[in-house]
Structure 1
Amino acid sequence: MPVLALLSAVFVVGFEQLVQWQYGPAGIVGLLLLTIGIKAKSPTCSSVGAVVLALMVAGPAISS
């Protein structure tokens, strides 16, 4: 059991670092809102976090 908890913690920290490196502080805020919303069973909070992450991943539309 401790090995599973350790691997889970390493994965979560690694994923957070990847999001922060790729999308900056706004990505961390989105991930935090999504996580808090899921744990608190708050659809509003998790939806806001999901939208923030989706906007960060989609990025701005560049038209020429």
Structure 2
Amino acid sequence: MPAVAFLSAAFVVGFEQLVQLRYGPVGIAGLLLLTIGIKAKNHTCSSIGAVVLALMVAAPAL
């Protein structure tokens, strides 16, 4: 069980670093809103986070 928790934590940290490297602070804010919304079961917060991430992914690279 501790190995699964360690692998899960390592994946989350790696994913957060990838988002920050690729999309910057706005991507981290979107990921944070999405995560908080899911954990708090707040649909508004999670929806805003999902929209921010979707806009970051769909935006053309400059």
Q: Name the TM-score, length of structure 2 as normaliser.
A: 0.95
Q: From the CA coordinates, give the structure whose radius of gyration is larger.
A: 1
Secondary structure of the residue that 2:41 maps to in structure 1? coil
Name the counterpart of 2:22: 22
Contiguous gaps of at least 5 residues in structure 2: none
Residues 7 and 39 (structure 1 numbering): CA distance in 2 closer, same or farther, change over 3 Å? same
- Distance in 1, Cα, partners of 2:47 & 2:30: 10
Residues 61 and 6 (structure 1 numbering): CA distance in 2 closer, same or farther, change over 3 Å? closer
Q: Which runs of 4+ in 1 moved over 6 A?
A: none
Matches for 1:1-64 after TM superposition, within 5 Å: 1-60=1-60
Q: Name the TM-score, length of structure 1 as normaliser.
A: 0.92
RMSD of aligned Cα (Å)? 1.5
When structure 1 is superposed on structure 2, of 29-38 and 51-60 the one drifting more is 51-60
Number of positions where the alignment pairs a residue of Structure 1 with one of Structure 2: 62
Higher helix share goes to which structure?
2
In the TM superposition, what is the alpha-carbon distance from 1:28 to its structure 2 partner?
0.2
